[in-house]
């Protein structure tokens, strides 16, 4: 066994280096060369930087939206100064950055096996295969040595399925069932995606599969394709899947719809970053980007040189030409969906501020038309003064409103 | 000597003054309504007395008395008549045909009004309480010594009314003895005149944990998350329902049976709360909510309007205190671990647990098999069919037979 080990290791190293065409590049878009190392490209510094810049951090509605927790727990309340609040928010933003760490883009595992030895004298030693698994402390699930002795005497490395089974046998993952859930196959998957549960499905897939599992790669590509088809980019923005998603689109030369989405929101910098990303991923792309080009120039150049996408990027064109962001109505519809994505609506009372204390949405409601509110500034830290709001009533109903109108007239 | 009926009855029923003191009242016979059973003049022989149960006769030859003709049935009826009347009359207690209340509408105990929903109090001065609901928390007999009447008993009822949106009131209603309903109605009227308003956090729970006391009753109330429900003393559940509190945990220590003190302590605690806006004004700081469902993302709930916002330099040590500690006044309810049942260490129980041990994973396996669509339903037939199918697949070689270390051997049946 000790003699064998270096041999096995070297074999596995070779297998990772020799890659044929990538699974992440679709055949339809493979007009360019196939020798791109996708895994390496994804972790390149400038690509990662562009992807991180493209992933906005929406704390309120996406990253830290209200979720169901396993244990019901009451919310905490604290008293904070402005500085303290800002510091806490900054910490939450750091936390969000950690949450939004991208799911790695990996090539699916090799299915091939290596034959290590053929010992004809061991033929028919038993009616079953014998599997030998390395369960030493420092062996991880990825690089664990698993070899199989076939009944005909051949000794070979295990295929991925056997490898997984042995991992599962010796190192169980709690609550991870053996069979993949039906949600990952179509009638149920379609239902889930119709309900905008893309993030949930992708998260579950991440948890269920390893990122280099062929099934995971297939599933995530399927979901990415459907998002791109149905223009539902808002379901995946500000999640940890947005990086791989954008990378996948750029790799397959399929960015116009996403560009259009950014254009509709009036995000010119994101548009330019997306074009830059495409260029970084596909250096042989026809669009040329100079070092010091402004965002607007990059986007305009892209539009000039890709006239064939003209009907796909109407919103972007409208934004560039007239500066018009997508209409209010559409945004509202969009945000409605957003809230539904976010879970339960927040139906608490609006916060009272000095701006709304006199209005209809203040504490007085409709009565604010009849009564005027005076806020008295107290000095220092009032101990037991409580609230220092004086409600001044000068009369009721019609008479009062008439008088007030007169006052207003005098002012004018 | 002739005596009237009442005079004769008096000889049977009356008790002398000294006899009353010795408790002979209960041994006396009650006045029986004899005319219900024996109509004057009626008899098994149907004797007709002229002027009594037969028309007056004025002719001499007819006589004052005659025996009337009877059929067989009439004789039988007259003989069994008394028995029939006695049977019809219910022996023992009075039978009441009360309508059965729905379990959610029942009160604390039996058919008593205490704890039941009593509806809205009557309108006062043109103000109607349509959306109010009233609960009676307690009816008791109180007594007072007077020099004229001696011990005088009074019914007293503790009543809470509220509209479930923060408005509520409670009062004690009184009435003479045995007039329970009157006492409750009086209490309702008074409670509707003593309305107070409680600010509710998110319209469902209290703003902060509080401690309140009245006499020997100590109340520790705690804010709880949405959907927690009311976990408290049954009387406090009713008070919370009336006010509109939906999630709360209250621990009552000391006297838990002085319901008036309990109500008073709880309501005092509720009224002494401060809203987040008031807290922000008082402290001159933002009140920030950090919800676990949002991964403790800080969100401003209230910020001071009239006072200046403090900065880090002007903060005092008191302002840095944890809010929950700040309100508790240093008091915490006693937390007792739940006592184990008496049988937990008995030999038989331990033995039974050990016998169940092999089957501890059965339920999760069942769920897993059904979820993976291996077995359509968890019935004996369905499982047997599944086993049959697998057996067939393995014997025909479609599926490999699991063999190896730790698995039992396949032993072929002997052919006889």
Domains assigned to chain B: 5-88 (no CATH), 133-197 (3.30.160.20), 210-327 (3.30.230.10), 362-395 (no CATH)
Please state, rounded to an integer, the average pLDDT across all residues of chain B. 87
* Shortest Cα distance, chain B CAs vs residue A342, angstroms: 10
Residue A83 to residue B303, Cβ atoms within 8 A: no
Exposed, middle or buried by CB within 10 Å (0-12, 13-18, 19+), for A366?
Answer: exposed
What length is written for chain A?
412
Q: Which of A353, A381, A385 to mutate to test the interface with B (most CBs of B within 10 A)?
A: A381
Phi first, then psi: what are they for B197, rounded to 5°?
Answer: -120, 135
Residues of chain A with Cβ-Cβ distance to B228 below 8 Å are 72
Answer positive or negative: Cα dihedral of B240, B243, B246, B248: negative
Contact A25, A251 (CB under 8 A): yes
Q: Which of B210, B231, B297 to mutate to test the interface with A (most CBs of A within 10 A)?
A: B297
Spell out, as residue ranges, where chain A has pLDDT lower than 70: 1-20, 27-34, 327-350, 376-412
Q: What is the pLDDT of residue A349?
A: 57
Residues of chain B with Cβ-Cβ distance to A353 below 8 Å are 303, 305
Is the pTM higher than 0.80?
Answer: no
Inform me whether the C-beta atom of residue B408 falls under 8 Å from chain A C-beta atoms: no
Q: Which of A59, A80, A149 to mutate to test the interface with B (most CBs of B within 10 A)?
A: A80
Inform me whether the C-beta atom of residue B223 falls under 8 Å from chain A C-beta atoms: yes
Inform me whether the C-beta atom of residue B227 falls under 8 Å from chain A C-beta atoms: yes
Residue among A202, A199, A183 at smallest CA distance from A191: A183
* Shortest Cα distance, chain B CAs vs residue A209, angstroms: 17
Give bridge partners of residue B297 from the DSSP assignment. Answer: B291
DSSP-assigned letter for residue B50: B
Residue among B145, B140, B168, B169 at smallest CA distance from B156: B140
Return the biggest CA–CA distance within chain A. Answer: 113
* Shortest Cα distance, chain B CAs vs residue A386, angstroms: 6
Cβ atoms within 10 Å of A325's Cβ, excluding its own: 16
Residue among A125, A350, A103 at smallest CA distance from A208: A103
Residue A385 to residue B282, Cβ atoms within 8 A: yes
Q: What is the pLDDT of residue A217?
A: 93
Mean pLDDT by 10 residues, chain B (416 residues): 87 86 82 76 76 76 76 79 73 67 87 90 89 94 92 94 93 93 94 93 91 93 92 95 94 94 96 91 91 91 86 83 75 89 95 94 90 88 91 89 74 79
Tokens coding A41: 């490209």
Q: Which of B201, B203, B289, B295 to mutate to test the interface with A (most CBs of A within 10 A)?
A: B295
* Shortest Cα distance, chain A CAs vs residue B319, angstroms: 7
- The CA-to-CA distance between both ends of chain B, in Å, stands at 112
Inform me whether the C-beta atom of residue B271 falls under 8 Å from chain A C-beta atoms: no
pLDDT in tens, A296-349: 888 888 888 877 777 777 777 778 777 777 765 565 555 555 444 444 445 555
Inform me whether the C-beta atom of residue B305 falls under 8 Å from chain A C-beta atoms: yes
Residues of chain B with Cβ-Cβ distance to A81 below 8 Å are 285-286, 309-312, 315
pLDDT in tens, B102-156: 888 889 988 888 999 999 999 988 888 999 999 999 999 999 999 988 899 999 9
Give bridge partners of residue A276 from the DSSP assignment. Answer: none
Helix boundaries (H) for A73-170: 82-99, 160-170
What chain B residue is nearest to A347 in terms of C-alpha separation?
A: B202
CA distance B22 to B283: 73
| Residue A299 parent element (H or E) | helix A295-305
Residue B228 to residue A72, Cβ atoms within 8 A: yes
What chain A residue is nearest to B400 in terms of C-alpha separation?
A: A128
* Shortest Cα distance, chain A CAs vs residue B287, angstroms: 5
Residue B297 to residue A60, Cβ atoms within 8 A: yes
Residues of chain B with Cβ-Cβ distance to A60 below 8 Å are 297
Residues of chain B with Cβ-Cβ distance to A74 below 8 Å are 223-225, 292
Residue B282 to residue A383, Cβ atoms within 8 A: yes
Q: Which of A79, A176, A359 to mutate to test the interface with B (most CBs of B within 10 A)?
A: A79
Residue B291 to residue A75, Cβ atoms within 8 A: yes
Inform me whether the C-beta atom of residue B199 falls under 8 Å from chain A C-beta atoms: no
Q: Which of residues 168-187 of B touch A (CB under 8 A)?
A: none
Contact A365, A356 (CB under 8 A): no
Q: What is the pLDDT of residue A407?
A: 47
């Amino acid at each position: 066994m000790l003699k064998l080990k270096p041999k096995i290791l070297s074999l596995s190293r070779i297998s990772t280096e020799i890659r044929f065409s990538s699974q992440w590049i679709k055949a339809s878009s493979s007009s360019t060369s196939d020798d791109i190392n996708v895994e390496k490209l994804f972790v390149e510094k400038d690509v990662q930087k562009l992807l991180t810049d493209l992933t906005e951090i929406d704390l309120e509605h996406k990253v830290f939206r209200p979720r169901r927790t396993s244990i019901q727990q009451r919310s905490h309340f604290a008293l904070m100064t402005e500085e303290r609040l800002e510091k806490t928010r900054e910490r939450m933003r750091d936390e969000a950055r950690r949450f939004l760490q991208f799911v790695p883009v990996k090539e699916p595992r090799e299915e091939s096996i290596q034959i290590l030895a053929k010992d004809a004298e061991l033929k028919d030693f038993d009616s079953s295969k014998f599997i030998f698994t390395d369960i030493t402390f420092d062996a991880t699930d990825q690089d664990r040595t698993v070899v199989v002795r076939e009944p005909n005497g051949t000794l070979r490395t295990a295929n991925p399925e056997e490898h997984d089974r042995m991992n599962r046998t010796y190192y169980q993952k709690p609550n991870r069932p053996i069979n993949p859930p039906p949600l990952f196959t179509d009638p149920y998957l379609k239902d889930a995606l119709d309900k905008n549960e893309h993030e949930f499905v992708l998260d579950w897939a991440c948890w269920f599969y390893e990122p280099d599992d062929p099934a995971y790669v297939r599933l995530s590509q399927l979901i990415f394709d459907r998002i791109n088809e149905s223009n539902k980019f808002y379901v995946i923005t500000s999640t940890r899947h947005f990086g791989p998603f954008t990378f996948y689109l750029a790799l397959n030369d399929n960015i116009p719809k996403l560009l259009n989405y950014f254009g509709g929101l009036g995000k010119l910098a994101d548009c330019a970053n997306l074009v830059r990303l495409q260029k970084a991923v596909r250096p042989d792309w026809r669009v040329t980007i100079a070092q010091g080009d402004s965002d607007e120039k990059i986007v305009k150049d892209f539009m000039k040189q890709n006239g064939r996408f003209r009907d796909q990027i109407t919103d972007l064109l409208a934004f560039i030409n007239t500066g018009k962001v997508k209409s209010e109505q559409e945004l509202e519809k969009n945000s409605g969906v957003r809230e539904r994505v976010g879970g339960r609506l927040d139906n608490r009372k609006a916060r009272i501020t000095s701006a709304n204390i006199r209005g209809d949405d203040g504490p007085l409601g409709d009565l604010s038309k009849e009564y005027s509110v005076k806020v008295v500034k107290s000095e220092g830290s009032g101990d037991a003064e409580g609230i220092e709001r004086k409600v001044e009533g000068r009369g009721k109903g019609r008479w009062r409103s008439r008088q007030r109108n007169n006052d207003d007239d005098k002012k004018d | 000597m002739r005596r009237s009926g009442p005079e004769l009855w008096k000889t049977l029923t009356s008790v002398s003054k000294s006899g009353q003191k010795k408790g002979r009242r209960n041994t006396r016979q009650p006045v029986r309504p004899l005319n219900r059973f024996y109509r004057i003049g009626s008899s098994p022989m149907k004797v007709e007395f002229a002027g009594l149960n037969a028309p007056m006769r004025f002719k001499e030859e007819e006589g004052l008395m005659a025996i009337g003709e009877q059929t067989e049935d009439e004789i039988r009826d007259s003989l069994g008549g008394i028995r029939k009347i006695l049977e019809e009359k219910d022996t023992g207690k009075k039978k009441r045909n009360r309508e059965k209340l729905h379990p959610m509408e029942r009160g604390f105990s039996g058919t008593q009004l205490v704890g039941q929903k009593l509806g809205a109090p009557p309108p006062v001065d043109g103000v109607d309480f349509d959306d109010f609901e009233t609960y009676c928390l307690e009816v008791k007999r109180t007594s007072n010594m007077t020099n004229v009447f001696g011990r005088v008993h009074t019914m007293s009822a503790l009543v809470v009314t509220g509209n479930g949106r923060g408005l509520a009131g409670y009062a004690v209603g009184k009435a003479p003895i045995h007039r329970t309903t009157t006492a409750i109605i009086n209490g309702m009227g008074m409670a509707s005149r003593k309305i107070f308003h409680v600010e509710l956090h998110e319209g469902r729970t209290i703003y902060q944990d509080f401690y309140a006391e009245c006499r020997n009753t100590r109340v520790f109330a705690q804010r709880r998350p949405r959907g927690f429900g009311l976990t408290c003393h049954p009387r406090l559940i009713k008070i919370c329902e009336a006010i509109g509190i939906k999630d709360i945990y209250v621990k009552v220590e000391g006297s838990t049976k002085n319901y008036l003190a309990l109500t008073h302590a709880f309501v005092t605690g509720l009224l002494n709360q401060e809203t987040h806006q008031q807290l922000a004004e008082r402290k001159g700081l933002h009140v920030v909510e950090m919800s676990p469902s949002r991964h403790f993302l800080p969100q401003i709930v209230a910020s001071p309007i009239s006072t200046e916002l403090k900065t880090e330099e002007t903060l005092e040590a008191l302002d840095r205190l944890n809010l929950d500690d700040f309100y508790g006044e240093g008091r915490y309810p006693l937390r007792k671990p739940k006592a184990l049942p008496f049988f937990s260490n008995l030999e038989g129980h331990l033995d039974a647990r050990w016998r169940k041990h092999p089957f501890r994973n059965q339920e999760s396996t069942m769920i897993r098999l059904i979820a993976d669509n291996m077995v359509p339903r968890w019935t004996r037939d369905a499982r047997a069919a599944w086993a049959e199918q697998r057996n067939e697949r393995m014997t025909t070689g479609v599926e490999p037979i699991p063999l190896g270390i730790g698995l039992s051997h396949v032993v072929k049946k002997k052919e006889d």
